[in-house]
Structure 1
Amino acid sequence: MRTNDMTTGSPAGLLLQFALPLMLGNVFQQFYTFVDTMVVGQALGVKALAALGAAEWLTFLMFGLVQGLVQGFSVVIAQRFGAGDESGLKKALGGGICLSLAAACLFLVMGQIILHPLLLLLGTPDEIAGMTLIYLRILYGGIPAAFAYNLLAAILRSLGNSRTPLQAMTVSSFCNIFLDILFVFVFHWGIQGAAAATVLSQVLAALFCFIKLKGSGLISLKDKRCRPDRAMLEEQLRLGLPMGIQNMITAMGGLIVQSVINGFGVLFIAGYTAANKLYGLLETAASSYGYAMSTYAGQNLGAGRYDRIGKGLRAANIIGAVTALLMSAVMVLLGKPILSCFITGDTNVVEAAMGIGYHFLLVLAVFFPFLYILYVTRSCIQGMGNSLLPMISSMVQLLMRTGCALLLPSLIGESGVFFGEVCAWLGADLLLAFSYFYWIRRVKAAAGQGRGALQTEE
């Protein structure tokens, strides 16, 4: 199995080399949610499309928590790999597996319990609530598969291998598209078919990564070095919990926005949902640069190459800003044709929903580079072992997003909710800039006293 040492060589070249396979993998992952939405919208109509939209932030609430936890576990793995600490690396691998198994069991049960009360709390319209509930019950039933894929992919990325997760996601995406068409168009299983296709595809992606890792010899139940001790579990939880909570905070802001949007009716929900799917697809490069930056910072911190971290951050932010401008052009120039792929029905209904969605895209396009800077800077700080400051930045996002959603519609109309997203990016960027300079000084100051002197303020 291929690994990649990011402690030597050109930062920009290393980050691009690492991020491109991740980007393709994330594009495939977003593409199959894109196809989910397109299949449901075309086959089942505007109400089913709105039902998917009502499920979107509840999906992120759970699966964002999963991704944040395993990303935190994997930061420790990247640091041990960068330090050349084989024994510590083995313990970190075992710790990530043990913690993920425990969390998967807990989330599987809790997820099913909270779904119906949350939909009631959010004021989901009665005409789509039933479809939204069954869709989410099936997705939440696949939580163990989501944990398995995200953990195994995070382990591979921590070791500098971004190609295997790409391969896994490519196979999984084509499987999902095939099953979407089969379950919805051929078997007529409705929205349940789209959810089942997603879960089965995640199972396939997890199996692919597991086979690759098993063949590497890094993980073995017979190897006593893979049995984590208490100190390792505490270190991984110290990083993983704030990162998981960070995503939960983001999701909570989204849920409040969703509750506001639910009050605007099914048509507004449908247009907003269609635009969000394109936004999610164009956001994938940002998350890829973020993963690359986290691994890069973690490995260089472990190797004591503190001087390279700042160089990598500058390179990643420049690359990200340029990429974001290209994505903004896609929103402006191709937004309407792409939105038309999701919405079907009466001409007046389609035009109204598309107008709502395109307005949202135009607002996002103007400020899109700030989203990319947010991803890169936050991931750099996390890679350096501090997950508290990024979590606080998510609280700022929560306040900005929900404040705008609750206040602006009364001042400038329903479209006021669109500006909450942009304000959330700007507020978080400002805090993260100060956080990076504060933490890099702490890292450099601790370097003269030994790495053990650096303690994350959590």
Structure 2
Amino acid sequence: MQKSLTQGAVGKTLILFSLPMIAGNLLQQLYNIADTLIVGKFLGSGALAAVGSSYTLMTFLTSVFLGLCMGSGAVFSIRFGEGEKEKLQESITAAFLLIFTVTAVLNILVFLFIDPILVLLQVPGEIYQMMREYLWVIFWGIPAVFLYNFYASLLRAVGNSVVPLVFLAACAVLNIVLDLWFVLGLSWGVEGAAAATVLSQYVSGVGIALYTWIKWKDFRFRKKYLRPGKGILKELAQFSFLTSVQQSVMNLGILMVQGLVNSFGTVIMAAFAAAVKIDSFAYMPVQDFGNAFSTFVAQNFGAKKEERIREGIRKAVLTAFVFCLVISFGVFLFAKPLMLIFVQPQETEILAAGVQYLHIEGVFYCGIGFLFLLYGYYRAVKLPGMSVVLTVISLGTRVALAYLLSSFESIGVLGIWWSVPIGWALADIAGFWYYRKMRKKSPCR
């Protein structure tokens, strides 16, 4: 099913399109959390620290081709909005070849440089081998993550956010079942948790690729497009590589912060691993809403429906604001019970550090909510470079302040926690200022 987002009530269209995306990413977080929950409860804090740090690393690595998929998705949405069927087919073929090549090279490199990566992350000696074993298995799932995200981006670009949800739901359920079997039943330790994730990823990745190939002939590769023209390559490069840079910069900053967190020892590593899972789960819906908003804007940008874009912006900002306020209140109020999902009650130091993190981050979710809308908007109106700028402001501030403030003994790890909302706020200010400036020059912007 394809659906045009250029018609119908704006608010209703946005929300109905975004709901399957939100549900899908919540399910994706579930199978990420399954590793953390089972490992933390049954294998101990050392295993929790190893898996948590691995999650941050994998988020950075996969952000390279995830950004390429998101950027290509913006091109697909614009072409769909324009009604350019031939150009859409050419874009699909060229984008797949491009992103597949990048993914293959990345996959080879991470296997070759696994040990230098762990050294760079300042992984403590007591969990080094455990983390290496987990990563060696989890790296085999990178091609599956590429397949799922490419076809999910394609289907969402043409207004179908339901099918990606179905395959992700199957993946999430399978991952939880396999986690319990491999870790508890077969006693495979962290390698079992990794194997469960990888097998589940292949089910969703290969499944959605086959489904799209069989169901939609228009989305199959065309022999005549295997050597795409310079124009389409330039357009894909503009969107995809800049979006990839934006995603990579964002996660590189997080990875650098992870290295700093690791230097504070296993207790802070474990607290950070659990708290970041809660953090990500809390604001994930507004991130997906931002991606849905981006598709909405891109389709209407292609269809040149300027007033509809303006109305969409107003309603998206209001929706994100209300949602983030509710989530902030919930996370702040229930910080300790949320941490207890991942950590044993007797591990009081880990609990205290995690609750402290959530009490600081949880108050400021509106900052990240608005930032996701800005990322999506600039990507949709052919200004992906501005998303990179906002990411550099947000993460640059976060990394610089984290290292600076935490170096003071009187501040310590609190400096890392406070650097995050400050970075969000500065990027939001810059993004809204530039939007007001651009709106005066172009009605569509």
TM-score normalised over the length of structure 2: 0.95
**AA in 2 matched with 1:35:** A
1:336-381 residue CA offsets vs partner (Å, 9 max, x unmatched) = 1221121238x2xx11111110111111121111111110121011
Contact 2:309 2:444 (C-alpha < 8 Å) held by counterparts: no
State the match for 1:456 in structure 2. none
State the match for 2:395 in structure 1. 398
Contact 2:92 2:221 (C-alpha < 8 Å) held by counterparts: no
CA distance in 2, matches of 1:443, 1:88: 25
CA distance in 1, matches of 2:202, 2:397: 36
Q: 1:407 aligns with which of 401, 404, 426?
A: 404
CA distance in 2, matches of 1:96, 1:106: 16
Contact 1:138 1:196 (C-alpha < 8 Å) held by counterparts: yes
State the match for 2:376 in structure 1. 379
Where 1:142 maps in the other structure, the secondary structure is helix
**AA in 2 matched with 1:140:** F
CA 1:134 to 1:437, structure 2 compared with 1: closer, same or farther past 3 Å? farther
Does residue 323 in structure 1 map to residue 323 in structure 2?
yes
Contact 1:94 1:227 (C-alpha < 8 Å) held by counterparts: no
Structure 1 residue 247 displacement after superposition: 1.4
CA distance in 2, matches of 1:202, 1:53: 18
For residues 282-431 of structure 1, the aligned pairs below 5 Å read: 282-344=282-344, 347=346, 350-409=347-406, 410=408, 411-431=410-430
Contact 1:220 1:226 (C-alpha < 8 Å) held by counterparts: no
State the match for 1:33 in structure 2. 32
CA distance in 2, matches of 1:157, 1:164: 9
Where 2:113 maps in the other structure, the secondary structure is helix
CA distance in 1, matches of 2:444, 2:368: 30
For residues 16-415 of structure 1, the aligned pairs below 5 Å read: 16-214=15-213, 215-221=215-221, 224=224, 228-344=228-344, 347=346, 350-409=347-406, 410=408, 411-415=410-414
Structure 1 residue 443 displacement after superposition: 4.2
Contact 1:92 1:226 (C-alpha < 8 Å) held by counterparts: no
CA distance in 2, matches of 1:115, 1:72: 28
Where 1:315 maps in the other structure, the secondary structure is helix
State the match for 1:452 in structure 2. none
1:271-314 residue CA offsets vs partner (Å, 9 max, x unmatched) = 11111111111121122111111101110110011222222112
Contact 1:95 1:233 (C-alpha < 8 Å) held by counterparts: yes
Over the residues paired in the alignment, what is the CA RMSD in angstroms? 1.7
1:57-116 residue CA offsets vs partner (Å, 9 max, x unmatched) = 211111111211111011111000000111111111111211122112111111223332
**AA in 2 matched with 1:21:** P
CA 1:8 to 1:221, structure 2 compared with 1: closer, same or farther past 3 Å? closer
Where 1:304 maps in the other structure, the secondary structure is coil
CA distance in 1, matches of 2:113, 2:422: 30
Structure 1 residue 158 displacement after superposition: 0.2
CA distance in 1, matches of 2:121, 2:65: 22
CA 1:439 to 1:211, structure 2 compared with 1: closer, same or farther past 3 Å? farther
Contact 1:93 1:226 (C-alpha < 8 Å) held by counterparts: no
Structure 1 residue 234 displacement after superposition: 2.0
Unpaired segments ≥5 residues, structure 1: 447-458
Contact 1:381 1:439 (C-alpha < 8 Å) held by counterparts: no
CA distance in 2, matches of 1:34, 1:9: 37
CA distance in 2, matches of 1:445, 1:38: 46
CA distance in 2, matches of 1:313, 1:106: 38
Structure 1 residue 211 displacement after superposition: 3.1
CA distance in 2, matches of 1:206, 1:440: 40
Structure 1 residue 437 displacement after superposition: 3.0
CA distance in 2, matches of 1:50, 1:136: 13
**AA in 2 matched with 1:332:** F
Structure 1 residue 330 displacement after superposition: 2.2
Structure 1 residue 262 displacement after superposition: 1.2
Structure 1 residue 120 displacement after superposition: 0.7
CA 1:442 to 1:154, structure 2 compared with 1: closer, same or farther past 3 Å? farther
Where 2:228 maps in the other structure, the secondary structure is coil
Aligned residues: 442
Where 1:429 maps in the other structure, the secondary structure is helix
Structure 1 residue 405 displacement after superposition: 0.9
Where 1:417 maps in the other structure, the secondary structure is helix
CA distance in 2, matches of 1:440, 1:417: 36
Contact 1:92 1:232 (C-alpha < 8 Å) held by counterparts: yes
Structure 1 residue 159 displacement after superposition: 0.3
CA distance in 2, matches of 1:106, 1:439: 38
CA distance in 2, matches of 1:244, 1:197: 27
CA distance in 2, matches of 1:252, 1:211: 33
CA distance in 1, matches of 2:155, 2:210: 12
Contact 2:81 2:301 (C-alpha < 8 Å) held by counterparts: yes
Where 1:161 maps in the other structure, the secondary structure is coil
Contact 1:172 1:201 (C-alpha < 8 Å) held by counterparts: yes
Structure 1 residue 192 displacement after superposition: 1.0
Name the stretch that deviates more: 148-157 or 109-118.
109-118
TM-score normalised over the length of structure 1: 0.93
Name the stretch that deviates more: 185-194 or 327-336.
327-336
CA distance in 2, matches of 1:30, 1:158: 22
CA distance in 2, matches of 1:333, 1:236: 44
Structure 1 residue 226 displacement after superposition: 7.5
Unpaired segments ≥5 residues, structure 2: none
Structure 1 residue 54 displacement after superposition: 2.0
Where 2:334 maps in the other structure, the secondary structure is helix
CA distance in 1, matches of 2:348, 2:186: 30
Name the stretch that deviates more: 265-274 or 403-412.
403-412
